[in-house]
Amino acid sequence: MFIDVPGGYLYTETRGSGQDVVLLNAGTMDLRLWASTVDWLSGIARVTTYDYRDIGLSSPGTAPFDELDDLRAVFDAAGIESAVLVGCSEGARRALGFAHRHPSRVSHVVAASGAFGEFPDPSSEEAAAWQEMLTSFEKIDAALAASGVRASSEVAQPMWSSALNEEGRRFVIGLEVANTHRIILDNRYLGTELDPPVKTRFDEIATPISVLVGARDFLGIQLWGRRLAAQAPNATLTTFPGGDHLMMLSAPGDFERFLRALLATLA
């Protein structure tokens, strides 16, 4: 269904029955990223997905908006009192921010491949890893400027999704091309998060957190996972040896087994 939010609307889907689980996409992907996950997860839980503003079937952001207020609107529209939040990449950042602001509405956060940008007060290892990511981003941006979104995605996917087979890479490239609007926004994105940002407030999040990282992801993303697991008071870290940034696609068996076991424990 479509739900109204200040200055726009969001597209959301809910399937299955049981305990509520909300899936939050990686930044340039729409809710189709979770299609294979929803196929099995909706058999054991009530699963809600949604498109962020500027993504998929939701409206563009035409004025500053609060990302976490949008997520709360999704909760309210679906009748969710409390849920397990599973966020990938940028979705992990949003999930943690929501748990910080609305702890009573989040029973557990699964932060998969959490992406938070530049490290505050970085260690030498973190600073080097961030510089490595910046170098990769420069190559992606150059392809975008020269040849457009498809070309930039074809450059980006071997970096972010090194463990995917050809079919998986084509799927991810297709999602990014379908979400061209978000990719070309550059620095004009109007969404806001916690202030100060959640990446500086991990130690304030009391909600239990499962931190998932892929051993084939950027080292910088893996180091963010270690930082989150070390700073949050109730967090555990799990590494999937065959996983990359999109572990629901690159390590689907490990990802499914982990979520099934977690939900069984929570139930």
pLDDT in tens, 108-150: 999 999 999 999 999 999 999 999 999 999 999 999 999 999 9
- For the chain, the average pLDDT equals 97
What is the reported pTM? 0.97
Domains in the chain, start-ordered, CATH in brackets? 2-122+188-266 (3.40.50.1820)
Q: Is 213 left (phi over 0), alpha (psi -120 to 50) or beta?
A: beta
pLDDT in tens, 166-208: 999 999 999 999 999 888 876 789 999 999 999 999 999 999 9
Phi (first) and psi of residue 35, to 5 degrees? -55, -50
